[in-house]
Amino acid sequence: MAFRKDFLWGGATAANQCEGGYNEGGRGLANVDVVPIGKDRFPIISGQMKMFDFDDEHFYPAKEAIDMYHRYKEDIALFGEMGFKTYRLSIAWTRIFPNGDETEPNEEGLKFYEDLFKECHKYGIEPLVTITHFDCPMHLIKKYGAWRSRELVGFYENLCHVIFNRYKGLVKYWLTFNEINMILHAPFMGAGLYFEEGDNKEQVKFQAAHHELVASAIATKIAHEVDPENKVGCMLAAGSNYPYTPKPDDVWAGKEKDRENYFFIDVQSRGEYPAYALKEMERNGIEIKMEDGDKELLKAHTVDFISFSYYSSRVATTDPELLEQTAGNIFASVKNPYLEASEWGWQIDPLGLRITMNDLYDRYQKPLFIVENGLGAVDTPDENGYVVDDYRIEYLAAHLQAMKDAVELDGVDLLGYTTWGCIDLVSAGTGEMKKRYGFIYVDRDNDGNGTLKRTKKKSFDWYKKVIASNGEDLTN
């Protein structure tokens, strides 16, 4: 068999896209709460961020999301029925520290996640917990400027001390920052960053990135000290860049795009800033302010495994005439004429997953964990709420076969696989509900209407069969 006997099959969600209960249980306000539905939901204007609070004009989907805050037992029971070995979820920072800078945590928030983790174990499901999945307390954004401030490293460290100690024995697998490279492409969504008039945006972003990298090393250090059984991973939005043509300039453009994403993981996995990144910063006049001990900290506390999201490959070129771009997890790319695309314009490339896995494993020689992969699509339920989603099954089966080839034929060391949005949830990019990924249909529309009733789709039983066969049976 291709996959190890203890392969971690499961699904993934994020607190800000499924929990809801934004003002319950002592929870504070976060950046992810105050972004409205819409294509341009992260507008940044010079001098002031628009989204410091709610207004009466917009709908804010994260307020209620799919109400997993009140329904997690029902949802985890469904995950257990599918045979999940792991469930990737995130902690809402503001449930634990409502403002982010308190010295003492919110007990009600701690108890919520303790109960949720225990519910997972009831079904033999190992929690895989992302400490920060884009969320940053609004208080830290307003008072400190979010991750541009070194003080956030200390607040994050405090959060880590609390959760690693409280959940010792309940959680073994941790991720420090979700898609950490997103800070360069979507700074407010990725890290709560906004820019004042006159800011050198690149300087601010790279300094904030350094603070997150230091915080990640500190988290890894604390996790291993609290429980040597803990395994800590980094997480990037992955997808290898193909050159548009064999022209050497295009090949080089692809390499540069790859490096842009690998930079963070180079630091988290190898423990130091890569030479190409230092030279790039030097050319652009970016000076990273490091404190004494930062370099030693990064070197001494690298991650145990590399986790990543994969939705599509990308294409790079230097040809200014090739202006047609395709969508894809924030990262725009030149359109690949050899690939089909989803309803949202994300190009579908199963072999690209195998290529990406090999690129990452060759580069880092550490175990990999695919923690996001899936197809966002419009699902049309019948009169009973049932969805025949053969298109989703076809997409996932093709990607699982490519993943299997990477393990069985190429020797890639893979810990597990979690599909994104195993239950329908709010889209991070647009705030929509109609862009569905799940095996479980949730009765809710883009405007917040619906009963929130959960209904199994056809893919539910298909994935149950996949897990039961440890990936050997991918047939529809």
Per residue in 310-323, pLDDT (tens digit) is 999 999 999 877 75
Distance CA 339, CA 354 (A): 15
Distance CA 441, CA 378 (A): 11
Residue 180: pLDDT band with limits 50, 70, 90 = very high
| pLDDT of amino acid 71 | 98
Given the residues 114, 372, 394, 408, the one annotated as active site: 372
- Type of residue found at 361: Y
Residue 44 has pLDDT above 60, yes or no: no
Distance CA 243, CA 250 (A): 5
Residue 332 has pLDDT above 80, yes or no: no
Q: Which residues pair with 235 in a beta bridge?
A: 307
In eight-state DSSP terms, residue 377 is: B
| pLDDT of amino acid 132 | 97
Residue 35: pLDDT band with limits 50, 70, 90 = confident
Distance CA 233, CA 308 (A): 9
Residue 330 has pLDDT above 80, yes or no: no
Residue 327: pLDDT band with limits 50, 70, 90 = low
Distance CA 342, CA 453 (A): 26
Distance CA 19, CA 51 (A): 20
Which tokens go with 153? 């490293």
Average pLDDT of span 118-136:
97
C-alpha pair distances (Å), 281 with each of 23, 203, 287: 41, 9, 7
Average pLDDT of span 131-140:
96
Residue 48 has pLDDT above 60, yes or no: no
Q: Has this prediction a pTM greater than 0.75?
A: yes
> pLDDT above 90 covers what percent of the chain?
84
Average pLDDT of span 14-37:
94
Q: Are 345 and 403 in contact (CB under 8 A)?
A: no
Residues in the chain: 476
Average pLDDT of span 392-409:
98
C-alpha pair distances (Å), 273 with each of 216, 299, 308: 14, 10, 20
| pLDDT of amino acid 124 | 98
Parallel, antiparallel, or unpaired: how do β-strands 325-326 and 333-334 relate? antiparallel
Distance CA 447, CA 467 (A): 35
Residue 326: pLDDT band with limits 50, 70, 90 = low
| pLDDT of amino acid 45 | 40
Residue 47 has pLDDT above 80, yes or no: no
How do residues 350-368 score in pLDDT, each as one tens digit?
Answer: 999 999 999 999 999 999 9
How do residues 245-284 score in pLDDT, each as one tens digit?
Answer: 999 999 999 999 999 999 999 999 999 999 999 999 999 9
Distance CA 135, CA 74 (A): 25
Which of 290, 154, 171, 156 has the alpha carbon at shortest distance from 226? 171
**How many CA atoms lie less than 13 Å away from 160 in the CB half-sphere?**
27
CATH number for region 8-469:
3.20.20.80
What is the residue-averaged pLDDT of the chain? 94
Residue 46 has pLDDT above 50, yes or no: no
Distance CA 430, CA 414 (A): 31
Whether 324 is a known active-site residue: answer: no
Q: Which residues pair with 420 in a beta bridge?
A: 12
Number of neighbouring beta carbons within 10 Å of residue 40: 7
